[in-house]
Structures are given as structure tokens and as C-alpha cells.
Structure 1
Amino acid sequence: MSQQTNTRDAVVDYDRLAAPFRPIFERIAAGASAREKDHRLPHEEIRELAQAGFGALRVPVADGGLGASLPQLFALLTELAAADSNISQALRAHFAFVEDRLVAAPGPGRDTWLGRFVRGELVGNSWTEVGSVAVGDVLTKVSPDASLGRGGFRINGTKYYSTGSIYADWLDTYAERTDTGVRVIAAVSSRQPGVTHGDDWDGFGQQTTGTGTSTFRNAVVEEENLIDFDTRFKYQTAFYQVVLLAVLAGSVRAAEREFADEVRRRSRTFSHAASPVWREDPQILQVIGEVGAAGFAGEAIVEKAAHALESAYRAALDARAGRISTEREEEINDLAELASAEGQVALTPLAVNALSHAFDALAASATSTAKNLDRHWRNARTAGNHNPWVYKARLVGDRSVNGTELPRVWAIGAAK
């Protein structure tokens, strides 16, 4: 299979790329509110996307994929988030794992994974340890098991925040080898005895992302699916964050659409309103316009950050081929990290405030639980609470004042 991917001359036209998925997005949007109210996980919707090739967006055309650039991928994730932000976030780990395999050394292992993505196989997340584990410690272990034959390992541990795992064929699991002490990504088949998934995420937003507890009890993982963590693609933290930016931007666009629909249909007004017809009231139209402008700004932030990621991706290929130095690659990665951090600091309060302001367009009826309009604010507020933006603001300021580069790896846990 080809190692060369997605050059500027080879990327597909965006509208042609998006066209097959937009009818699926429309069906997803039509059922999004009901799914949340009934807590029905979008298994069928995610499977339809996978079967249509959505999970292979980044795989090169020569390898059977769709050849999307990173700006195109994130524009599509934003469109999907405007249909149902839960689904974009549920696919976050999948696209990160795809990215890692794209920049991996060429060979049979890489080719095998690209083939799986083209067949519609999906990857979920399983990184965060449960409980008061100290920052940096890894309790999930993979151990060689002679009974499985050469190259057979068992994995044991429990992970929380396993976003997308319920829908996945494979789990991208952060673990430690007991034989070497090396930190690895264990790509564990999710459809086997010894792997269980819990839908026990209790957040007030993003309720159908399939986030919860993943448990491994002597589950099997092959040595070829143990990937040294130190070889992980270097712009991963920025990548993960930009997916959340797409979730935020899409949430604002979804609210703009649904609040505008409600305004258009509303027949009641107030004695002191600026117009006898609600949909013609200039103050109400202003509110919807301000929400739409916030959506535009969100999309622009996502696009800008995605272009920084695209530069980091190209730098990874160039560094592997010896065309640029490792130092230059790291400089480009730092710019991608900065773009994702500045985007997060700007977009999180912008999106949350815009979604709160949207309720000013409908008076008390906007709070109806039957309308379920509050899910957009709850979803954005929840997505915005990941990787706290207040820390990112401080780090951006430290870089501006003192020249301190942003950290490239984040972790969560109890203080040591």
C-alpha cells in the first residue's frame, strides 16, 4: 500500500467528498433529540456512517479510502456535530488512531490497519485510569501468556472516559507491558470475552457518546497490536482538542438551525414586542443572527486549527523521509498545539455564551423539555469542560511572555 498520502494536488473536492454523507447527516439530525431523550445509543447511525466509508476519510485513495485532508475531515466532523454532536465526539478516538497509522512506518502492520478502516472497522478510546491513580501512573497491564503461543498477551485493567468504545471494533488502550515496562497502545479487539463496556457516563451533556467504563479481564491482544507509545504521532494532543472544537462549532450551528425553526413557527408575541409578528421582530432576528455569527466564528477557528494540523502531518512525513530535521518537525507540532489551545480558549466561552443567548429568541417556551433545546448548551458545556481551557489560557500566556512551549502530552490523575 502507498505511504504517500493526501498531497495538496490529490485531495478530493470538499463538496464531492461531503455529498454522500449529507443525506446520512440529515437522518441523524432528525432523530438526535429523541435519541437523547430516550437515551438510545446511535449504534445504527454510526454503523451507517462506517459502511459509507466515513471512518476511512483520511485513508489515501490508492489504499481504498477517500483521501481527505485534515481541513476536510474537520469540516465534515463539524457538519456531523451540527446533526448530532455526540456522534462526532464518539468518533474522536477512531480518527486519532487512523492518524497514527497514517504516519506510521510503511509495512504490513500499517497496511493491515488501513485495510480495516476501509472495511468499516472503528476504534474507540480507553486511556484514562479509574480512581485516584497518580498522574502519570498506568495500572492497566499487558503480560505475555505462553498458553497463547508466540506473541500472545493478556491485558487487565479498568478504564473510564472510554468515549466511543461501545460502538467500536477495536479499543485504543493505554497500558504498560509487564515484561519490558514499556508504555504501549494496545489495540484490543472489543468483541471478545474479557472485554466489557459500561454506558455509565453520568454527565448532563454528550450523553450518547458511548462514554463509560471499559474493563479488561485476561483479554487477548497480539504483540503486533502493541504499539510503543513513544512512537505515537506527535500532534495527537492538538488533534484530540480540535475534534472538541468541531463539536463546539457544530453545536452552535445546530442551535442556530433549531432556534430559527422555532422562531419561524411561533405565533404568539408580547404586547411590548418590537413587531406584531415574531419572525419579523428585529430584536429576535438579531439574537438568531448573533448565534449564527458565533457558528461562523467557530467554523473559522476549526478550519484554522485544522490547517495547522495538516502542516504537522506533512512535517511528520517529511521528517520520516529525511526532508526536514526533527527539530523543525517539533517546531511545526508546537504551532499546531498553539493553534488548538488558542482555538479552545476563544471558542469555549464563545460557544457556551452563544448557546445561552439563543434562549433569548424564544422567551419561556424555549425551556420546554419537550423541545429539548437545552441539549445544545449542555452538550457544548460538557465538551468545553474537557482539558480545562483556563489552563490552556495560562500556557498560551506563558508562551507569549516567557517563550515556554506548550506541553505535548497531557494526563489526568491524583496529585503525587
Structure 2
Amino acid sequence: MTAQAHSLPALSTGTDYAALAARFRPIFQRIAAGALDRELGRQLPHEPIQWLKTAGFGAVRVPVEHGGAGASLPQLLQLLIELAEADSNLPQALRAHFAFVEDRLNAHASSAQDVWFKRFVDGELVGNAWTEVGSVKIGDVITRVSRQGDQWVVNGTKYYSTGSLFSDWIDLFARRDDTGADVIAAVRTRQPGIQQTDDWDGFGQRTTGSGTSTFTNAVVEAENIIDFATRFKYQTAFYQLVLLAVISGSGRAAVRDFVHETQQRKRIFSHGNAPAVSQDPQIQQVIGKASAQVYAAEAATLRAGDASQRAYLARFGADESAEREANIAAELESAQAQVAAIELVLRATSDLFNTLGASGTSTAKQLDRHWRNARTAASHNPVIYKERIVGDWEINGTEPPTVWQIGGGIKQQ
């Protein structure tokens, strides 16, 4: 079936990347300068987030006609990789924001999104609250949106609320009490009914502002209750792409730091191959291989980003069949990139320790954070399932799932 053609609104099809990146690279450098201290002291990056807000980073995907930069999705990913090299916690903290922006970009195909675009351009950020806490069964949603007097309210508790501590809004997944429909409630963060806690205890990505969010009669405006069925179709691909940017940036940071340590190292081993570590061909080989592995991971991420950009553009076309195919391709390519990039970066961030002696494990240097951060980001969406999904498509043509949940399973007797 072909949808009725309509006049196209402003789209984000790309801009001059060199000029776009030049706006933010001085900020990335400032962020990188404080990354080690934030890691050592587990200091949340409130100030760096503010720098990015002020500079308009959260609006790079907003169309130029609405005050944004009009960046393509691959250009956004390239920026996130550069930001992740500076501090991989920050792009993950902004993951939910850019997903909500992407959803509003897609919604613009059927209804004007001027209000949200203006909020993004004004620097407002969106956090995340999707994952249920407790013994929720798979497919169920405990967090509820209900009518209370003349207003709508949200009640429930969420974990993995990444980025919400820095946000002005929260993209919250819930269920309506009246209809039983799943919805997105865009909730204003600064209100008495929301309690946020930085209780994320993972060994990596420790300053992403994640943790528990509790909603007790938190008010949500009726116009900000969005039917989940209208959510943009390549959303799982998009969420994975941001994680791949985090992983690729972690790999770039590891190569950068180990190169620096190698250049500065004075001590050598008697059974080494040169009077200076920097001249040792085996050390050069380790660095060279890691650099190539990270390069390939980044390239895979950006190529998969092209597929999601095509899905975004297809949303504004007049061919439903072509849009469906584009969404399938976006999901499959993000999964293929995930399988490849994770293995490459985890191998690189581990093997790089072969360039140094035991001093490379010093907690003061925190060189292990690059592996820990990549490993943590790689654990969000189990890669083993993506390997199977890609294989099932290749062999049987089985379409990949575009929405999935986590929850309690059925106990076997």
C-alpha cells in the first residue's frame, strides 16, 4: 500500500562536518582534560553537560530551518565518537536525549514538532526511564499513567535512568490505566513528584547519571503522552548505534593514551627489541593492530548509521513498502556492526596492555577504564542474540525484532 503523498517538511540531511565539529572540539578538549579526575572521584559531569547544552550540542539533528545544525545521523554518530574519545560517559548520558530528538524528527512527518524543536534548540535535554524495577514479568509494565482530578500523573519506579540526572525532561515508558495502551510520557524533571538517585554500581560508565528514578504522582501534560505505537521504527537500531559510538570512542581513547604512555616510557626489558620502547617493532605492532581494530569498529558504526539515515528519510516518502525495508535494513546493519565492533574494541583495549609493564595497571592512570567502559556499553544489548538474529535473517529471511523488553521469565518446574 502506498501512503498519500504530502509536501515534505524540513529534513536533516547533513551539513559541513568540518565546520560542525569545529564548533564542539574545543569543548571536547576541555571535557577530556577533566575525564581522569572525574573517573577517579566518580564526579558526575554536570559542568561538561552544561558546556554542551550552551553550545547547542543537543540540537545538532534539528533541521536548520528550526534553528538546529541539520546534521545527518552518521554525522551525529561521528560527533558522539569524538565526544566518547574525550569521555565515553557523556554520549551515553545523552543517548536518551538524541533518541527522543530522533522520535520527534520522525513525528514531524505527520504533525508539526516546532515546540519540541525549540526546546532542543534552547538547550533542553531529555533523560531516560524505561526499565522496570522489581519482579515485573516480561512484557508487563508496572509504571502507570492515570487521571487524577484535572491532570495526568505518573507512578512507578525505573532503573537504568541514564542521563536523567542532567535532564530537563524524562522520556518515560509507561502504561495507561484507562486504556491499557503503552505510552511515552514526556515528564518535566523539576517537580516534587520525581526522586532521582545515582545508584548505578557498574564497573564501567560510572558517571553517566544512571540509577533509580521514582515517580510519585508526577505530573505529565496530556499533550506529552505519546502513543508508543507511533515511536520511530528504527529506534532499537538507533539506541545501539549510540552505544557503538561510545564503544568506538573508548577504543580511540585507549589508543591515544597507550600511545602517550609508550612515548613517555623510559624503562625497557632486557629481552626486548630496541633501546627505547617507542622503537621496539613488537610494541609498534601492538599499537598498529589496535589502531586498525578501532578504525574498523568506527567505520562499521558509521556505515550502519547510513542505513538508519535512510530509514529516517524513508519516513517522509510515499512508499510504505520502501520504508519498511529501510527499517529492516537499519536494524540488521546496526546488529552486524555491533557484532563486529564489540569484538574489535574489546580485543584492542585489552591487548594494548602488552605495550607496558606492570606500571600500566596503576589505578592512578586508570588505563583499564577504556576496557571497562567498552565492556559495560557492550553488555546492554546481548550481542549473542544479535548474532543469532542476523544469522536467522541470512538463512531464513526472518525479519529482526524492532521492539523488545526485559523482565522476569517463566520458572521451569
TM-score band by shorter chain is over 0.9
Secondary structure of the corresponding residue to residue 315 of structure 2: helix
* Inter-partner Cα distance in structure 2 for 1:107 and 1:80: 33
Moved over 6 A (4+): none
Q: Match for residue 33 of structure 1?
A: 36
One of 138, 143, 146 as aligned partner of 1:140: 143
Shift of 1:5: 0.9
Query: Conserved in 1, the CA contact under 8 Å of 2:146 and 2:154?
Result: yes
Match of 1:17 in 2: 20
CA contact (8 A) 1:156 1:217 kept: yes
Letter in 2 for 1:350: L
Quick one: which amino acid aligns to residue 252 of structure 1?
G
Check if 1:414 corresponds to 2:408: yes
Q: Give the distance between the partners of 2:50 and 2:404, measured in 1 at CA.
A: 31
8 Å contact 1:60–1:66 — kept in the other structure? yes
SS at match of 1:317: coil
Residues 351-392 of structure 1 show CA distances to partners (whole Å, capped at 9, x for unaligned) of 111100010011211101011100000000111111100011
Residue number in structure 2 paired with 1:355 = 349
Single out whichever of 283-292 and 54-63 deviates more from structure 2.
Answer: 283-292
**2:272 corresponding residue in structure 1:** 273
Deviation by residue 1:165-209 (Cα, 9 ceiling, x = unmatched): 111100000001112211100000011101011101100000001
**Is the aligned partner of 1:200 residue 2:233?**
no
Corresponding position of 2:12: 6
Equivalent residue, structure 1, for 2:88: 85
- Corresponding residue to 1:334 among 320, 328, 341: 328
The residue correspondences of 1:27-106 to structure 2 (distance < 5 A) are 27-105=30-108
Distance 2:241 2:61 in 1: 16
Aligned partner of residue 5 in structure 1, secondary structure: coil
Contact 1:109–1:224 (CA under 8 A) maintained in structure 2: no
Counterpart-to-counterpart distance in 2, 1:107 and 1:282: 59
Cα pair 1:205 1:379 within 8 Å, conserved: yes
- Structure 2: tracts of 5 or more residues without a match: 1-7
Are 1:127 and 2:130 matched, yes or no? yes
CA distance in 2, matches of 1:250, 1:298: 10
User: TM-score normalised to the size of structure 2?
Assistant: 0.96
* Aligned equivalents of 2:327, 2:127: Cα separation in 1: 24
Post-superposition CA distance 1:251-275 (Å, at most 9, x none): 0000000110010011110111100
Pairing 1:380–2:374 present: yes
**Which whole-Å CA distance do the structure 2 matches of 1:36 and 1:105 have between them?**
39
Match of 1:405 among 395, 399, 406: 399
Cα pair 1:169 1:191 within 8 Å, conserved? yes
Is 2:294–2:344's contact at 8 Å kept on the other side of the alignment? Answer: no
Question: Is 2:109–2:316's contact at 8 Å kept on the other side of the alignment?
Answer: no
1:100-249 correspondence runs (5 A): 100-105=103-108, 110-146=113-149, 149=150, 152-249=151-248
How far off its partner does 1:328 sit? Answer: 2.1
Counterpart-to-counterpart distance in 2, 1:90 and 1:56:
15
Task: Tell me, yes or no, if the aligned pair for 2:83 and 2:91 is still in contact at 8 Å.
Answer: yes
Query: In 1, Cα distance between the equivalents of 2:192 and 2:12?
Result: 38
What is the deviation of 1:239? Answer: 0.2
Identity %, equivalent residues = 60
Give the corresponding residue for 2:4.
none
**Aligned-pair CA distance for 1:39:** 0.5
CA–CA distance in 2 between the matches of 1:126 and 1:328? 32
Residue type of the partner of 2:164?
A: S
**Deviation for aligned residue 1:6:** 2.1
Write the distance in 2 (CA, Å) between the matches of 1:218 and 1:275: 68
Taking only aligned residues, the RMSD between alpha carbons, in angstroms, comes to: 1.2
The aligned counterpart of 2:3 is none
Contact 2:298 2:341 (C-alpha < 8 Å) held by counterparts: no
Match status 1:366 vs 2:360: yes
Deviations 1:83-129 (A, max 9, x none): 11110111000000000001114688611110000000000110000
**Whole-angstrom CA distance in 1 between matches of 2:42 and 2:203:** 12
| Cα deviation, residue 211, structure 1 | 0.9
Q: Which amino acid aligns with 1:3?
A: P
